[in-house]
Chain A
């Protein structure tokens, strides 16, 4: 839901709660969001070792319904929507014909002829306009972003906490499945999804209950060490987990194959926007390749820093940061495909000097089973 400030960025229904909790606010994707409460490092570690609660109500939600819904989604997303059962979700992307992404998204199958897509906040309007423009199939489209708050409860203690406030059988919800459920007395959609690399849930519900659900969850998690976590920790957590962020690893000039997202491109599912370009690129090879790296000497790579190999500028860092759990300085970067090789060294230009970095296998972090 969006309540408009007098001017400037939108605010979620929890804006005042975040301010009262002492959060530092920042603009992200057109929204004024909490970047941190107690500190990014501490919040990051809480999610890795206990649990964190994120307000991600800025995310967009779009419903796709009607007899043409499946055919339409198959034609404009890269993953195979026909493989979804009711109450199953799928990581995917809305596609340009060039094989790049309009946005990455999670497609949820509510039932036959009934889907909802969760998209990036900054892209919601662009995505919706693009969907409408390509909807020759005649699916029923609605941007329902204002009808939902979204909270993400993430971390190894998430299930134990959520059990206290829901009647849903959490053990029966597998990763990337969801169920209509009542949490904290509020009806909504409870999905076992997230963007942190931890186990956890995302709950979509009507914004008027936001303060109640937020505070009830925090109270339920007090003994488990649950704490609010901001977008700062969300970013460092997703980077450790090797997840792409639109505008960084993904944009209109980057194909999904180049961004290591070939696994969501089901080229044999039938015709879809971008398929020809992806097929061609699979034959001819990619122009660049996303790699993970760790700094091998002091220095922190940041978004946009140039990458050098053998005295030549060959690419760019897309995301770089200290990794609070791994206690290393890590990053993602595009390099020429022939240079993409775990173990190979690249140089990161940091303020007029070059610092050595070593390519590593992604993800940087994988949660213990």
Chain B
């Protein structure tokens, strides 16, 4: 379960303070499928970064399975990211020097899994997302939709409880977007918590729970 308490984040730009999040308190149950929507600058990505332990709040707390992540150091956060969270980005963010198989196995490399084991697991995941014939390809040789499926396979490699997607359908055509949403829905059915940020209302309409944000606040 994920719970935030009076979460706020203030960015400092020289002398000016820019509040990106203001007193956000939200509870997300295990196995939920959640979409955060709102106009740009509403603080939805900042909020997602807090949930994904990529960033620390200025004040307030984020509890993941009871652990207050605001109190963890860099390594503690890295460990949570590695063990509990899988990230999917709008820009896919694959490592262009590595092939598909290696990209998917990278989180397992950081987790200290043996080479044979991580390649085996990566191959299974690529098969799961329908890319079993693209294992040796470099990201630049894949279409946007294929790259996003590789990114999803990578997010799954450590078998995380939580999948976090920042505009996962933002850079693909609508048909591919639908396919990716189907994949995320399937992952949610497996019992994983899925949290995505989107500005696409059509996508949000398929998600059971939607949180609307504006000016750094959650609208009821």
Co-complex (A, B): no
Interface residues of B, Cβ cutoff 8 Å to A = none
Which residues of chain A have a CB within 8 Å of any CB of chain B?
A: none
